[in-house]
């Protein structure tokens, strides 16, 4: 490979630093939005909760039993159901492209007293003019153990 071709394939240290800085900023901003989302759940603050999502047809919601798109008609807009308790574990975010971050956490949830669920929740957050917003949300419970006899 010629030195010209080699130089074109190699990122400059300044460019690498800029890319790392942008990824770090994206991750920090996504983590702040993720935490805002969870705090709104804990406080049952629907306005704050909904503000962490994109309000467009690009919102994707899925679970083991459904796949839906779009903000309009999302049951969370009118639903008043909140978990009794939500404990978040292993929260992580990873930048996957400029302005796009994947987020993950394990949860222990108590939808109603005496009923405990564990599972995984994931998000994809994107940079918008309003800041980082959730554009993909998914959640699924771990396999339910067999009932005791």
* CB contact burial 105-116 (16+ within 10 A = b; e otherwise): bebebeeeeeee
Paired tokens of 130: 């309003």
Q: Tell me the helix, strand and coil percentages in the chain, rounded to 5.
A: 30, 40, 30
- What is the chain's Cα-based Rg? 19
What confidence tens digit (pLDDT) does each residue in 10-52 have? 667 666 666 678 899 999 999 999 999 999 999 999 999 999 9
Candidates 133, 113, 109, 137; CA nearest to 123 is 137
| Average pLDDT for the chain | 86
Mean pLDDT of all residues in 64-81: 89
d(CA 102, CA 97): 9
pTM: 0.81
């Amino acid at each position: 490979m010629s030195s010209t071709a080699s130089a074109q394939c190699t990122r400059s240290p300044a460019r690498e630093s800029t890319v790392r800085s942008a990824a770090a900023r994206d991750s920090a901003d996504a983590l702040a939005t993720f935490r805002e989302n969870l705090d709104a759940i804990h406080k049952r603050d629907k306005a704050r909760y909904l503000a962490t999502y994109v309000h467009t047809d690009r919102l994707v919601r899925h679970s083991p039993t459904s796949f839906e798109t779009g903000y309009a008609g999302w049951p969370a807009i009118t639903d008043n159901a909140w978990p009794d308790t939500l404990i978040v574990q292993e929260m992580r975010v990873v930048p996957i492209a400029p302005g796009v971050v994947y987020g993950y956490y394990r949860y222990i949830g108590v939808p109603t007293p005496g009923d405990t669920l564990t599972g995984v929740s994931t998000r994809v957050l994107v940079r918008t003019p309003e800041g980082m917003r959730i554009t993909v949300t998914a959640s699924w419970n771990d396999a339910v153990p067999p009932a005791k006899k």
